[in-house]
Amino acid sequence: MSPLYFDFAASTPLAPEVADAMAPWLSGLYGNPHSDHLTGFAAANAIERAKDQVSSLLSCSPEDIILTSGATEANNLALKGVLLSNSIPGRHLIVSAIEHKCILEAAGHLEDSGFDLTIIPPAADGQIRISDVSAALRDDTALVSIMAVNNETGVIQPVRELARLCEARGVFFHTDAAQAVGRIELDFDVLPNTLMSLSAHKIYGPQGIGALIAPRQIQRQMVPLFHGGGQQGGIRSGTIPTALCVGLGRAAELARERRNEDNTYLSDIRTKFVHLLRERECVPELNADAEIVPGIMSLRFSGVDAAELVLTVQKNLSISMGSACNAGSIEPSYVLQAMGIPSSHANESVRISFGRTTTKEDILEAADALAAGIRRIRDRGESPGVISESGLQLPLPTGGNPQ
């Protein structure tokens, strides 16, 4: 039997409706959407329909949508496409300390290339303060990038207010909305100076496709990450994968239709899950005091090493650590540390994220598995070989950071 899946913030299962929409384009329909014949036109029309579905979800124009391989590419395109452009004045970039690694790494690369970088820390509740961003703005600021929902804590950021602040100061604003799409309302049409990144596999779509939403007047000033056949107006060359694009579109359509229903259901699931943990004398501490989306929680279990807990319950339950996993070694979460949480507490934190397919039976079994794992760890004391601050290697897969 497979473990119960409680890591929806990392990736969501493919919705059956999405799989059905993609199926014809994975077998009998295979035309290149950039070819000048009927088979190619059919694929191009399917892509245009998918862009219409995304635009309906985000209240943007289909022309604003740049299809990418995912949010990582979209985020890199936003930052580098703006900062490296000779058409956009300014060599100063502002990001927050709690951004996904792809934003922080791209920003660091730009800083190494001679651009000025300001990193804004969050308040203790996990939210970025508008006043801190305002104070950091300069005459040569080209772009501010603040995520819409944090991938680890679930904290909702004031992106609408930040976008308006930047617009008033003549600065472009970018938001990584990978964890926000389908969870909070995002009206792109009221944010004319804004760029927005998203990923299909966070909204029950396929892995391998995402998008950068950018108004055409901004796109025309940006530079591409790479060059090729000039597809998508030259801003993102390469053949568009029709099947993946169709999946993104159908997932976006479902997200628009089900957002309120999903949020109501997940709020109920979250409340019941925390209650079940308390009934089992496993009282967690929530790592964020600001408003969070209902599907993501960063929880601390006092005296329980997070890495050991993940390993202890892994046969029954798939959860993530509240710390970054880099090259197989465990380090305290940079997000929690940026919030002022001590590394000892960060190392006792796990991320638990629910989804559309999580059932009430699932949370009952998950609470039982967590409670049993926590008791086992507390009973036997600290386990040698799983000491996160020691730098010891753990029997975990190597790789990057799941968003």
Long-range contact pairs involving 59-65 (C-beta distance under 8 Å, separation at least 24): 59/186, 59/187, 59/188, 59/189, 59/190, 60/188, 60/189, 60/213, 61/215, 61/216, 63/216, 64/188, 64/213, 64/214, 64/215, 64/216, 64/219, 65/211, 65/212, 65/213
Q: Span 215-242, mean pLDDT?
A: 95
Q: What is the per-residue pLDDT for 50?
A: 98
Report the C-alpha gap between 4 and 316 in whole angstroms: 6
Q: What is the per-residue pLDDT for 362?
A: 98
Q: Span 315-319, mean pLDDT?
A: 97
Residues 6+ apart with CB under 8 A from 102: 71, 72, 75, 76
β-strands 4-5, 320-321 pairing: unpaired
**Catalytically annotated residue among 60, 245, 282, 325:** 325
pLDDT tens digits for range 112-137: 999 999 999 999 999 999 999 999 99
Q: Which two tokens stand for residue 215?
A: 């108004």
Chain Cα centroid distance, residue 251: 16
Q: Which two tokens stand for residue 188?
A: 């792109």
CA distances 322 to 114, 172, 300, 351, Å, are 33, 31, 9, 5
Whether 282 is catalytic = no
3-state per-residue secondary structure call for 41-81:
HHHHHHHHHHHHHHHHHHCCCHHHEEEECCHHHHHHHHHHH
pLDDT tens digits for range 330-348: 688 999 999 999 999 999 9
Q: Which two tokens stand for residue 366?
A: 């998950």
pLDDT tens digits for range 28-74: 888 999 999 999 999 999 999 999 999 999 999 999 999 999 999 99
Report the C-alpha gap between 362 and 176 in whole angstroms: 30
Question: What does pLDDT average to over the chain?
Answer: 92
Q: Is the backbone of residue 271 left (phi > 0), alpha (psi -120 to 50) or beta?
A: alpha
Report the C-alpha gap between 114 and 294 in whole angstroms: 40
284: exposed, middle or buried (Cβ count in 10 Å: 0-12, 13-18, 19+) = buried
Q: What is the per-residue pLDDT for 384?
A: 42
What DSSP state is assigned to residue 294? T
pLDDT band at 402 (very low <50, low <70, confident <90, very high): low
pLDDT band at 202 (very low <50, low <70, confident <90, very high): very high
Alpha helical stretches, state H, 237-328: 242-279, 306-313
Angle at 403 between CA 159 and CA 107, to 5 degrees: 65
Check whether 398 has a pLDDT greater than 90: no
Report the C-alpha gap between 177 and 289 in whole angstroms: 21
Q: Tokens 């794992």 sit at which residue?
A: 373
Question: Domains in the chain, please, with CATH?
Answer: 4-10+259-390 (3.90.1150.10), 16-254 (3.40.640.10)
Return the axis-axis angle of helices 71-83 and 101-112, rounded to nearest 10°: 30
Chain Cα centroid distance, residue 205: 14
